[in-house]
Amino acid sequence: MDAIRIYGGKCLDGQTRIQGSKNASLPVLAATLLIKGTCEIENCPEISDVYHMLRLLESLGCKVTREGTLVRVNTEQVSECDMPADSVGVMRSSIMLLGALLARVGSVKMDYPGGCVIGARPINLHLQSLRNMGVAVEEGEGGFSACVNRLKGASHRLPFISVGVTENLILAAVLAEGTTVIEPAAGEPEIQTLCEFLQQAGAKIEGIGSDRLTIHGVERLFPVRFRIPADRIVAGTYLAACMCAGGRVFLQDTPRHHMESVLACAGQMGAKLKFEPDGMLVTCRTKPTGCESLVTGCYPAFPTDLQSLFMVVMSVSGRQGWIEETVFENRFRIVPELRKMGADITVYKNRAYVGGRGRLHGAVVQAEELRGGAALVAASLAAEGTSIVTNRHYIDRGYEDIVLSLRELGAEIELA
């Protein structure tokens, strides 16, 4: 059953808890390779991307145990090893293991990572940056190998802001000889979480949250117990779903301080937001008012991961507007599927122009990537009639159980 059936046209009413962050848990799990001993990671989401990361860690000799959202990783026996191609091939973030493995064992061989259809995301900047730290890299048709005696601290002036490259360089630098400087460094909350985990383990990192990170290499790190924060993208997903369908929902553990641009946009589009110590109450009694323009960008700008969801909000608002995508060149893959549901959207270069039709109808649509799949579910909640969203496995990469969570919020939704 790799599909979801949604009976649309019903307002939402209920509450659900926001899971741990996918984009924070993956680099933190990779970072455990740097620490001899057992680390305990709390609030680690039960999603397929985490499953693949844990499988990769096991392939490298780690002992992994899991009790719900608590993951224990023992890295005493990490060894040089080829990682399973099927897990590397389906998960782009496996590339972040490169810096950690070079720091821990000095060599790595892996296939080119996959799992991304929203943009090219070439890894050449990862490899070139690591060469700057003394790494020898040999590239082949299907993969590459890299080796180094000991990583050397270096100054990196990146040609553009990259979350993945920033993460990889942090992981490579914390045990490197000397000092590493990264600029412009990505400032996403997930980068901050990775730095906080490493600091707790004994790393010396300056400039956390800024566009310039300075990392002083240390001789060793120490096992820690660490809690993953709530997922700002999942919270934004259910916020957008409520705006599409209408209703009143409480999102427990919403990380509001990491969502300022999203919450500001939602407020401008008519959502009523009330913040409480344990979460956020969202009330949408009328159709969203839409917005004239929306531009994605690096944090703290509007996140590209929520662009397709707010495209749906704009589609049901009845107001014309446009979205400019500045991060990934292929983020508009959802548009043909939304057109099947009656949306009026035209794409020109990196802009999507959303018409003022304002009504969607049920249809059979296909998810082609993670966030676009979640957006199709949100569109189905707002649509008249029944919809089926196929390729649920894409959605499972980032959502623990989107069907259960939306049922808790009052949706009529089931596996199909």
Q: Give the 3-state secondary structure of residue 100.
A: helix
Q: Does domain 3-18+230-415 have CATH number 3.65.10.10?
A: yes
pLDDT in tens, 52-108: 999 999 989 999 999 999 999 999 999 866 666 665 655 566 788 999 999 999 998
Q: How many CB atoms lie within 10 A of CB 22?
A: 25
Q: Where are the beta strands (DSSP E) in 57-154?
A: 63-67, 70-74, 107-111, 136-139, 143-147
Under a CB-based contact definition with an 8 Å cutoff, are residues 21 and 370 in contact?
A: no
Closest alpha carbon to 5 in 401, 411, 388, 391? 388
User: How many angstroms separate the Cα of 64 from the Cα of each of 43, 67, 93, 346, 358?
Assistant: 15, 10, 19, 47, 49
Domain ranges of the chain: 3-18+230-415, 22-227
State yes or no: is 116 an active-site residue. yes
Give the pLDDT mean for 165-188.
97
- The predicted pLDDT at position 144 comes to 87
Under a CB-based contact definition with an 8 Å cutoff, are residues 273 and 267 in contact?
A: yes
What is the percentage of the chain residues whose pLDDT exceeds 70?
Answer: 94
Under a CB-based contact definition with an 8 Å cutoff, are residues 401 and 410 in contact?
A: no
Q: Active site residue: 11, 81, 116, 147, which one? A: 116
Q: How confident is the model at residue 1 (pLDDT cuts 50, 70, 90)?
A: confident
Residue 116 pLDDT > 50: no
Residue 27 pLDDT > 50: yes
pLDDT in tens, 236-288: 999 999 999 999 999 999 999 999 999 999 999 999 999 999 999 999 999 99
Residue 216 pLDDT > 50: yes
Give the pLDDT mean for 361-366.
98
Class of domain 22-227: alpha beta
C-alpha 202: how far from chain center: 26
Closest alpha carbon to 72 in 35, 110, 124, 123? 35
pTM beyond 0.85: the answer is yes
- The yes-or-no answer to whether 3-18+230-415 and 22-227 have a common fold is yes
The better pLDDT of the pair 408, 121 is held by 408
Q: How many CB atoms lie within 10 A of CB 346?
A: 12
| Rounded to 5°, angle at Cα 261 from 260 and 267 | 85
- Rounded to whole angstroms, how far apart are CA atoms 406 and 416? 15
The better pLDDT of the pair 87, 128 is held by 128
Give the pLDDT mean for 129-138.
96
Give the pLDDT mean for 311-333.
92
The sign of the CA dihedral 70, 22, 127, 160 is negative
Under a CB-based contact definition with an 8 Å cutoff, are residues 170 and 182 in contact?
A: yes
